[in-house]
Amino acid sequence: MDIRNGLVEAIGNTPLIKLKRASEMTGCTILGKAEFLNPGQSVKDRAALYIIKDAVARGALKPGGVVVEGTAGNTGIGLALVGNALGYRSVIVIPETQSQEKKDMLRLAGATLVEVPAVAYANPNNYVKVSGRLAEALARTEPNGAIWANQFDNIANRQAHIETTGPEIWEQTEGEIDGFVAAVGTGGTLAGTGMALKQRNSRIRIALADPFGAALYSYYTTGELKAEGSSITEGIGQGRITANLDDAPIDVAYRIPDAEAVQIVFDLLEHEGLCLGSSSGINVAGAIRLARELGPGHTIVTILCDYGTRYQSKLFNPVFLREKGLPVPGWLERSVDLPS
Ligand code: PMP
């Protein structure tokens, strides 16, 4: 029998999907880890589960307790669903710029949502800092206590990828892997998976794919944290070295323009049936760059982070795309005339 005991056992063990066009274009085997197939439809289910399990193991999270987090959405969705399955409530602080679909999903998963203006990390009203203060306050007033998930600096996050994502990729490729590429939100995925893979074979190249508006491309190429431009991507784009990124084994960094990432997302949907969010486009663009750098015959793995319906009102909305000067996929506006 193959039975998972509840939602938490359905997290992870996602398939590796060969991306046809990216592979053909480069002469490499480019594989996407289908994290959108997790129960919460994103890679962040893994981190959410590990953060909750760690807090329970430390005795910090008590039955009926509250999990508080600042999130672009996906971690919150993971925390809310895992919380429901294990008996914890969730309070989620989200920048108001994030997609309506993620906010709707959080509400329907039972999270209490606090929307705040999107301001820089240095500002005390930044969503991460608001969530930290809120957790402290709720820890005093909630009958069963409250914890701050703190995904950026809580390394239970990357531990999820050290113990699950990395080993899964190693086993699925039977060690036949030459490179791994990912974008960074907290850095948990890139650092944790990178560490697990390097530990098994130190020659595997670990690459960062950074959007514009983030400071890490500059950091890993020049040593200086410096942001330039902006991006419509959500869930990625970091301006500092989080605890999860500390000591991350990053060999090479690429900076990917939105137009390139968005076109890849549209092509993957139109030609391969893969419906993905924009960070997956940044990742696949990074994988194509690493493939070109390594040359034909190599195997590169990246992350297909979350499901595209989460961005229907933005990434797949012609009005939004035109406003941002981005390409509009033809099929979104296709129609037929009914015969008279
Ligand atoms: N893509 C999306 C859509 C995300 O929500 C996140 C997490 N914020 C990431 C990528 C990056 O994952 P990590 O936090 O592990 O760096």
pLDDT tens digits for range 160-217: 999 999 999 999 999 999 999 999 999 999 999 999 999 999 999 999 999 999 999 9
pLDDT tens digits for range 94-115: 999 999 999 999 999 999 999 9
Distance, C-alpha 291 to centroid of its chain: 22
For all residues of the chain together, what is the average pLDDT? 97
pLDDT tens digits for range 25-40: 999 999 999 999 999 9
Q: Using the mean position of ligand 1's atoms as its centre, give its distance from the Cα of residue 237 in Å.
A: 9
Q: On the CB side of 126, how many CA atoms lie within 13 Å of its CA?
A: 8
Nearest ligand 1 atom to alpha carbon 151: 14
Model confidence at 339: pLDDT above 90: yes
Substitution site in 97, 236, 242 for ligand 1 pocket (most atoms within 8 Å of beta carbon): 236
Q: What is the ipTM of this complex?
A: 0.99
Q: Quick one: what percent of the chain has pLDDT higher than 90?
A: 99
Model confidence at 262: pLDDT above 90: yes
CA distances from 303 to 11, 104, 193, 338 (A): 15, 24, 10, 41
Nearest ligand 1 atom to alpha carbon 238: 16
pTM (2 d.p.): 0.97
Nearest ligand 1 atom to alpha carbon 279: 1
Q: In this structure, what token pair is assigned to residue 26?
A: 């480069």
Instruction: Identify whether 62 is a catalytic site residue.
Output: no
Substitution site in 94, 305, 310, 315 for ligand 1 pocket (most atoms within 8 Å of beta carbon): 305
Model confidence at 72: pLDDT above 90: no
Model confidence at 285: pLDDT above 90: yes
Model confidence at 226: pLDDT above 90: yes
For residue 53, what pLDDT is reported?
A: 98
Measure the CA–CA gap between 143 and 64, rounded to whole angstroms: 9
- Catalytic pick from 18, 20, 44, 103? 44
Model confidence at 59: pLDDT above 90: yes
Cα–Cα nearest to 68, from 86, 87, 53, 83: 83
Q: Using the mean position of ligand 1's atoms as its centre, give its distance from the Cα of residue 107 in Å.
A: 20
Q: Give the mean pLDDT of 41-50.
A: 98
Strands (E), the chain: 16-18, 29-34, 66-70, 89-95, 112-116, 146-148, 179-182, 205-211, 252-256, 299-304
Measure the CA–CA gap between 186 and 151, rounded to whole angstroms: 7
Substitution site in 186, 195, 276 for ligand 1 pocket (most atoms within 8 Å of beta carbon): 186
Instruction: Please report the sign of the dihedral spanned by the C-alpha atoms of residue 137, residue 139, residue 142, residue 148.
Output: positive
178: left (phi over 0), alpha (psi -120 to 50) or beta: alpha
Nearest ligand 1 atom to alpha carbon 306: 3
* Residue 195 contacts residue 248 (beta carbons within 8 Å): yes
Q: How confident is the model at residue 67 (pLDDT cuts 50, 70, 90)?
A: very high
